Structure 1
Amino acid sequence: MNTVSLNGVNVYPFSSEGKLLDYIDSHKGILIAINAEKILHATKQTRAIINRNVGYCDGAGAMIALKQKGYKNVRKIPGCELWLKIIRRFYQEKTFFLIGATNEVIIETVTKLKKEFPGIKIIGYRNGYIKTDKEKEELIANIAEKKPDIIFVAMGSPKQELLMEEIQKKHNAIFQGLGGSFDVYTGEVKRAPKWWVENNLEFAYRLIKEPKRISRQIYLIKYAYWLITKQL
């Protein structure tokens, strides 16, 4: 499958979640959610990380830009939903390793997954607060020994991507960076209601709930200008 460049960020224009799931089943790699903010603020480092891996359309801004480039069937695939669909598709045949959030949240996440997906094989997990190089080396060695098929890392970008690439050098797998998805899954953080999500207004809901985000989202005006003038 060919990628599409948006401000130098290569995105795979998957037309459905099923197409993405089929792709990762035959092409191991790191899934990276792409939204307007990542496209707008792309640096040499972040572009390189994304372009080495599998960037998929996570936000409405990325989806609109891809449609402008002729990919009319491209679909927005929210990362906070995708990881659970990966589990639903593969939990009876593959093994999992989870990294991220606090001790309490990661334990609650594992407990809930075991209830929701009976028989799921979670062969390891730990919190996302890796404080020393020794802790990181021990984690990577543990993963290399256990060889999980799928690894979820919920630490925020680009920290999670950098860690996944380090792990990948020792053990290749299907990886996905999840940001705060474990917190959403356990109810620690509330996601926007369904109507806001379906109408591509999740960013506005989050802004209402967290007004301090205005300093980040004000830059989306520039992204909207790029869309209008077709500069992407």
Structure 2
Amino acid sequence: MNKVNIRGVEIFPFSSRDQLADYVNSNPGILVAINAEKIINSTEQTRSIINRNIGYCDGAGAQMALQRKGYPDAIKVAGCELWLSLIGRFYKEKTFYLVGAKQAVIDATVEKLRKEFKGINIVGYRNGYIKTDEEKAAVIADIVAKKPDIVFVAMGSPKQELLMEEMLSQHKAIYQGLGGSFDVFTGHVKRAPKWWVEHKVEWLYRLINQPSRIKRQIKLVKFAWWIAANKF
């Protein structure tokens, strides 16, 4: 499958969740969520991280750009949904390792996963507060020793991607960066209601509930203009 270049950021135009899952199953690597904000704010470092890994569409803006580029069937998948789709697809046959969030949140995440996916094999997990090189080396060594098939890292970008690249260099697996998805999954952070998500205005829900995001959201107007004027 060919990547699509959107202002220097390369995205795979997956047309379904199954196609995405099939691809990473055959081509293990690091899944990186791409939305309009990430494209607008991309730097040489973040573009490099995305482009050498598996960038997937995680926002309506990125989806519209892919569609204007000639991929009308391109879908968007929120990262906080994708990891659960991957678990649902593979939990009976693959092993998992989780890193991220506060200790109470990661504990609750593992407990809830074991209730919802009976028989899931979580071979290891720990919180996301990795403060020293020794702690980082220890978690990588544990992953190398336990050889999980899928690793989820919820620490925010680009920290989580850089850590996953170190992990991947020593253990080949499917990796996905999740940001705050463990907090959403366990109810510590509330996601937009279903209607807002389905109508592609989840960003507006966040803005209403967190007005301080206005400076970030203004940039989306610029992105919309790029799409309208084919400047991408």
TM-score by length of 2: 0.99
Question: Aligned residue for 2:169?
Answer: 169
Give the drift of 1:213.
Answer: 1.1
Q: CA separation in 1, counterparts of 2:190 and 2:167?
A: 30
Give the drift of 1:220.
Answer: 1.1
Q: CA separation in 1, counterparts of 2:124 and 2:22?
A: 25
Determine if the alignment matches structure 1 residue 56 to structure 2 residue 56. Answer: yes
Aligned length: 232
Unaligned segments of structure 1, at least 5 residues? none
Q: How far does the alpha carbon of each residue in 1:124-167 deviate from its partner, in whole angstroms, 9 at most, with x for none? A: 00001111111001111111111100000001111110000011
Question: Aligned residue for 2:83?
Answer: 83
Q: How do residues 1-232 of structure 1 correspond to structure 2 at under 5 angstroms?
A: 1-232=1-232
The secondary structure found in structure 2 opposite 1:31 is strand
* Identity across the alignment (%): 64
Large movers: runs of 4+ above 4 Å: none
Give the drift of 1:201.
Answer: 0.2
Q: CA separation in 1, counterparts of 2:212 and 2:158?
A: 21
Unaligned segments of structure 2, at least 5 residues? none
Q: CA separation in 2, counterparts of 1:157 and 1:212?
A: 20
Q: Please, what is the CA RMSD of the aligned residues?
A: 0.6
Aligned residue identity for 1:230 = N
Q: How far does the alpha carbon of each residue in 1:37-64 deviate from its partner, in whole angstroms, 9 at most, with x for none? A: 1111111100110000000011000000
TM-score by length of 1: 0.99
